[in-house]
Amino acid sequence: MKLTKDQVKKVASLANLPVTEQEEELYSKQLSEILDYIDKIEDAAATKEVKPTFNVSMNTNITRPDKVSINLTQEEALSNGSSKGGQFVTRGVFENE
Amino acid sequence: MSDLITLSLLETIAGLEKKDFSKAELNQAYLERISELNPKLNVYLEVAKKSDEIPAAIKDLISVKGMKMTCGSKILENYAPPYNATVIERLIRNGVSFLGKTNLDEFAMGSSGENSAYGATKNPWNQGKVTGGSSSGSAAAVAADMCVFALGTDTGGSIRQPAALCGVVGLKPSYGRVSRYGAQAMASSLDQIGPITKTVADARKVLEWISGVDEFDSNVVKTPFKPTELPKDLKGVKVGVPKEYFAQGLEAQVEKVVRAALKELEELGAELVEISLPYTEYAVAVYYILMSSEVSSNLGRYDGIRFGSGRANFGAEAKRRVMLGTFALSSGYFDDYFIKAAKVRTLIKQDFDQAFRECDVIVGPVSPTVAWNLGEKIDDPLTMYLSDIYTIPASLAGIPALSVPCGFSSGLPVGLQILGKYLDEDTILNVGEIYEQATNWRKEKPEL
């Protein structure tokens, strides 16, 4: 399948990725080529009805004891972002609406 | 003391026990080697200020407290993880220290090492060639004797392929064998941490150290890794040879080298059985849907708030995969792409279940070619993706896979891939070690 420049723009916005017009052009070409190749799974999927595999370890509902252990301090948790008064600083949610 | 750096991990441990040399001498020898070669090969992104135990190299997407972790990305240029990954804690407990963090394709996405924001690592065998990827620096570090051993990660071949292209041993353990806590998540249903080493016995030792249940990664299986005694030869071992792994696209000279290795396995007592893995041709397509989908979700965390800079700083390959994954998961396409791919994944897994009824291990090439020229495939993502055709199926099936050096083509190393049943690392390691001892390709070293 082909991915048009407009579709690339839409996907980029869903993924919160800033892309230039030039990139839209390039990704439209490259992603279309990749999707053309990927479309071959159609043939395989049609051969047999099977259940999807999401995880091969087969582990389900793994729990651990609910006890407090040594973890990151507030200072450590904040050490890689900008913070103020012990909290992360973020952009306002509604500013860009 | 320059010989120190050529010792394997087991030889290093023995040498330290016998007091042939001290830990200080050992670290000194490696640090000298690093300062001599790193400007030329671009293996380490950061060299530790202090290393005083058995010196290892760590792929720079595994957290080591006190060192930066860039993941090969500009986004994490200044990120310093405030904790150790589980594998790091376990290595420390076993007397290992860290020489530094090794280069990689950004967020482990690439087959050549060229997607690093910090420049490509050069292949120690020929500096005009790629190392393979994404564990480019870790494989080159072992090949160039710039560490005793290294850790890499493998999602679709990122340990095995660079190990093969650099002429060293690489092990991708079974999915769920090793805790990923503290490693940057790429595609969580596929990611595994594993060793890149000078010998197969070293890979076994490192796996013993790092594997096992961890409360921070619920995918780790309860069955422990228990190595058995190494048999004398391969009598009674059935080696499956998949015809799909010797098909179109495999370089003639690489095929010749791998066929010679099969012959050697036969001479060591193994019985070769022709098998078929009919869904192999769909593996790359399935992988690029599932992996990209998981990537698009895992990389969502890079919003510049808790760590790192903003999303504009993703490199081209990261952007491409995030977009492909976002598309495959988007409304209207989810069933056609993601779910369909997950179903074909089942068929690929069944291929292996079926094949392992007739054999104990499956053997073939790791990569269809030897290391290619830097820059050769970087503008053609699809061609780059197809270079992982032999490593991806085992990743999708979650089975263990080992890459062992098996010869050369035009002066560049070729790797032999040995695949095993789920959780049966023991057998592939034994087959690999018996082959290695009979051939000794590992004694070949690049001229540097």
SS3 letters for chain B? CHHHHHCCHHHHHHHHHCCCCCHHHHHHHHHHHHHHHHHHHCCEEEECCCCCCEEEEEECCECCCCCCCCCCCCCCCCCCCCCCCHHHHHHHHCCEEEEEEECCCHHHCCCCCCCCCCCCCCECCECCECCCCCCHHHHHHHHCCCCCEEEEEECCCCCHHHHHHHCCEEEECCCCCECCCCECCCCCCCCEEEEEECCHHHHHHHHHHHECCCCCCCCCCCCCCCCCCCCCCCCCCEEEEEHHHHCCCCCHHHHHHHHHHHHHHHHCCCEEEEECCHHHHHHHHHHHHHHHHHHHHHHHHCCCCCCCCCHHHCCHHHHHHHHHHHHHHCCCCCHHHHHHHHHHHHHHHHHHHHHCCCCCEEEEECCCCCCCECCCCCCCHHHHHHCCCCCHHHHHHCCCEEEEEEEEECCEEEEEEEEECCCCHHHHHHHHHHHHHHHCHHHCCCCC
Output DSSP code: residue A94: S
CA-based nearest residue in chain A for residue B398: A56
Tell whether A96 lies on the interface with B, counting CB pairs under 8 A.
no
Supply φ then ψ for residue B339, to 5 degrees: -65, -40
Contact between B331 and B380 under an 8 Å Cβ cutoff? The reply is no
Q: Which of A3, A41, A49 is the mutation pick for testing B, counting most B CBs within 10 A? A: A41
H or E segment at A41?
helix A41-45
All residues of chain B having their beta carbon less than 8 Å from the beta carbon of residue A18 are 311-312
> Can you give the pLDDT at residue A64?
84
Q: CA dist B190 to B7, B17, B139, B291, Å?
A: 32, 38, 20, 8
The conformation of residue A40, written as its DSSP 8-state character, comes to: T
Q: Given this model, what pLDDT does residue A95 score?
A: 67
Question: From the candidates B158, B174, B387, B395, which is the catalytic residue?
Answer: B158
Evaluate if residue B315 carries a pLDDT over 80: yes
Instruction: Let me know: does B130 contact B114? Beta carbons within 8 Å.
Output: yes
Looking at the predicted complex, does its ipTM rise above 0.85?
Answer: yes
Q: Let me know the angle formed at the C-alpha of B186 by B297 and B54, rounded to the nearest 5 degrees.
A: 150
A86 touches chain B (CB under 8 A): no
Phi, psi for residue B319 in degrees, rounded to 5? -60, -45
At A96 the pLDDT is: 59
Active-site residue identified among B8, B63, B111, B134: B134
- B134 tagged catalytic: yes
Beta partners for residue B100, in sequence order: B47, B57
Q: Does A76 touch chain B (CB under 8 A)?
A: yes
- Cα separation, B304 vs B218, in Å, equals 28
Question: Does B59 participate in catalysis according to the annotation?
Answer: yes
Residue B300 has pLDDT above 80, yes or no: yes
* DSSP at A83: E
Residues of B whose CB is below 8 A from A55: 189, 219
Q: What CA–CA distance (Å, rounded) separates B134 from A56?
A: 23
**In chain B, what residues touch A16 (CB-CB under 8 Å)?**
300, 303, 311
Q: Which residue of A has its CA nearest to B384?
A: A34
Residue of chain A whose alpha carbon sits nearest to that of B278: A44
Is the separation of the CB atoms in B223 and B426 below 8 Å?
no
Which pLDDT does position A65 carry in this prediction?
86
Using CB atoms and an 8 Å cut-off, which of residues 369-388 of chain B contact chain A?
381-382, 385
pLDDT of amino acid B191: 98
Which of the following is catalytic: B8, B51, B59, B292? B59
**CB < 8 Å from B in window 7-66 of A:** 7-8, 11-12, 14-19, 23, 27, 30-31, 33-35, 37-45, 47-48, 50-57, 59, 62, 64
**How confident is residue B383, by pLDDT bands cut at 50, 70 and 90?**
confident
Between CA B47 and CA B100 the distance in angstroms is: 4
Has residue B140 got a pLDDT over 60?
A: yes
Average pLDDT, chain B: 96
- What pLDDT does B353 receive? 98
Q: Which positions in chain B touch A52 (Cβ < 8 Å)? A: 339, 342-343, 345-346
Chain-chain contact of A54 with B339 (C-beta, under 8 angstroms): no
What average pLDDT does this structure show over B344-353? 97
A96 versus B87: the higher-pLDDT residue is: B87
User: How large is the average pLDDT for residues B322-346?
Assistant: 95
Query: Residue A71 has what pLDDT?
Result: 84
Q: What is the mean pLDDT of residues B114-143?
A: 98
Q: Which of residues 100-159 of B touch A (CB under 8 A)?
A: none
Q: Closest approach of chain B CAs to the CA of A97, in angstroms?
A: 18
pLDDT at residue B37 above 60? yes
pLDDT tens string B61-97? 999 999 999 999 999 999 999 999 999 999 999 999 9
B65: closest chain A residue by CA: A76
| CB-based contact B155:B190 (threshold 8 Å) | yes
The total of other beta-carbon atoms located within 10 Å of residue B59's CB is 31
Contact B327 A37 (CB under 8 A): no
Q: pLDDT tens digits for B144-187?
A: 999 999 999 999 999 999 999 999 999 999 999 999 999 999 99
Q: Which uninterrupted H or E stretch holds A24?
A: helix A21-38
Strand partners, B407: B414
Question: What's the Cα-to-Cα distance from A44 to each of A49, B276, B297, B346, rounded to whole Å?
Answer: 10, 16, 26, 11
**Local confidence band at A93 (pLDDT 50, 70, 90 cut-offs):** confident
Residues of A in contact with B220 (CB under 8 A): 57, 59
Backbone angles phi, psi at B214, to 5 degrees: -140, 130
Q: Does A77 touch chain B (CB under 8 A)?
A: yes
Both structure tokens of B173: 């353990």
Three-state DSSP class for A76? helix
Of B147, B148, B219, nearest to B183 by C-alpha is: B219
Would you say residue B1 has pLDDT above 80?
A: no
Cα-based torsion angle of the residue sequence B46, B50, B51, B56 in order, rounded to the nearest 10 degrees: -10
Which of A33, A72, A81 has the CB atom closest to B382's CB atom?
Answer: A33
B257-281 tens-digit pLDDT: 999 999 999 999 999 999 999 999 9
| Average pLDDT of the segment spanning A62-73 | 86
Mean pLDDT value of segment B414-425:
98
* CA–CA separation, B312 and B177 (whole Å): 35
pLDDT for A94: 81
Cβ distance B285 to A50 less than 8 Å, yes or no, reads no
Amino acid occupying residue B445: K
Cβ(B75)–Cβ(B85) below 8 Å: no
Task: Give tens-digit pLDDT for B13-25.
Answer: 999 999 999 999 9
The answer to whether the Cβ–Cβ distance between A27 and B320 falls below 8 Å is yes
- Gap between the terminal Cα atoms of chain A: 33
pLDDT tens-digit series, residues A9-41 = 999 999 999 999 999 999 999 999 999 999 999
